[in-house]
Amino acid sequence: MGCCFSEPVDFDGEVNLYHFDLHRAVGKGAFGKVRVVEHKRSKKLYALKYIDKARCIRQKAVANIIQERRLLEEIDHPFIVNLRYAFQDDENCFFVLDLMLGGDLRFHLERKVHIKEEIVRFWIAELSCALEYLHRQRIIHRDLKPDNILLDAMGHAHITDFNVAIHYSERRLHTSVAGSMAYMAPQVLNKKGYSWQADWWSLGVTAYELIFHKRPFDGRGSDKMVQSILKDPLRFPDNARQHCSEHGMSALKGFIDRDPSSRLGCRPNGQGLEDIQQHPWFSGIDWTRLENKECQPPFVPDMKQANFDVSHELDEFLMVEKPLTHSKRKANPDLEKMRPELRQLEEQFTVYDFTNMRRMSYYPHNQPIVALGTDSESAERALAQSANNTIGPTASIVERSQAGSPIESNDRHYIPALPSNNQHGYPAS
């Protein structure tokens, strides 16, 4: 789908949709679609995630969209789907992101009976580097699962979808429930307070599912699943040794540890990545080459076929929904006459252009954003729902973010902050 706009494009002006040619749809989210776009001047391909403002307001998700926009500006890492541009028009908010044509891990999991252990180990090593980086930026992802891990054309793994991600506090634990139930750490579900350690649990559950093609804790209905996560012992399938080594199962036990102080990646004497690097399962990995993307991935996606659900394009083809088109913005919109949520998007979903803007951190000022024009009764909201309109185990849910009670340093649940490489909290650009 090309652009038929005849006027010349001002590439030196503020970035907008006219800077891109629109190509095929490759994904679908809660509020819009993802499609491949090509920057007309640089000829580089990107993924365009666009969010329908009206739908976003109806589902009371304005605060989450702005939070995601701000957090993405802080992030730049080899194993994360990074933000390159952000802008809006009268109908949509746009994120232009690194393009990942290798598909998400849910796609590959559903098409393979089993994924080899060495492939999963490689992905987990790459994702560990990304998580360690996020935690040093004081960011918790909160929704790590196969659906939110994308492969590039070479086979490298990248974390995406920061819709429920937040900054963590070094003095307070979070108590709001957010993420996808099947991957939530016990501390998230029991609402007694959690921090960045919850991401390592989710990574462990993801690794278990990729290796064994099933999740470690399951149950029919959300109540049974919660009880399973909170209380059931970690068990491996009867044929586990056919698919996973002793070192691999040891690593899974380390990640899926209900005690965050002894969880792999969280232990005080080997915090973060160092703890993982020293585990025997990862002994054969050259971490310097890995972080530089110099290691050959053991699985390379077949780029001769689409690594995504091709039905995403049918909705527009069959006119089920309105196709995305280039459209000029209304000149000088009157903010005073806008409804509060639209005005909030206008003022806070700001333009970003990675070619001429320095990445900045909103921390510690990036507190949870309060939605305007909404009631507090919608404390819990489904961002994605299964076909039968109930929250499924892999659907993302989120409550309004709120910090828990202050945790004193002599409390047995005290969670020390990760050491920061950078006093100002700025990511490397």
Q: Which residues are annotated as a binding site for ATP?
A: 49
Write down the H helix ranges in 33-104.
53-58, 62-74
CB 396 within 8 A of CB 164: yes
CB 264 within 8 A of CB 279: yes
104 noted as active-site residue: no
Q: Count other Cβ atoms within 10 Å, centred on residue 295.
A: 17
Amino acid at 227: Q
Question: CA–CA separation, 22 vs 2, rounded Å?
Answer: 6
CB 361 within 8 A of CB 424: yes
Amino acid at 243: H
Binding-site annotation, residues: 49
CA distances in angstroms from 389 to 383, 385, 392, listed in the order given:
11, 6, 9
Q: Count other Cβ atoms within 10 Å, centred on residue 54.
A: 12
CB 187 within 8 A of CB 230: no
Q: Count other Cβ atoms within 10 Å, centred on residue 250.
A: 14
Buried b (16+ CB within 10 A) or exposed e, 357-393: eebebebeebebbebbebeeeeeeebbbeeeeeebbb
Question: CA–CA separation, 283 vs 370, rounded Å?
Answer: 45
Q: Count other Cβ atoms within 10 Å, centred on residue 5.
A: 13
CB 131 within 8 A of CB 199: yes
Within 8 A by CB and 6+ apart from 54, the residues are: 91
Dihedral over Cα of 194, 197, 199, 203: its sign: negative
CB 17 within 8 A of CB 94: yes
DSSP string, 344-369: HHHHHS--EETTT------TTT-PPP
Question: CA–CA separation, 366 vs 80, rounded Å?
Answer: 20
Q: Please tell me which residue in 52, 104, 143, 161 is annotated as part of the active site.
A: 143
The residue ranges of DSSP E strands in 63-155, in sequence order, are 83-88, 92-97, 139-140, 149-151
Q: Which residues are known catalytic residues?
A: 143
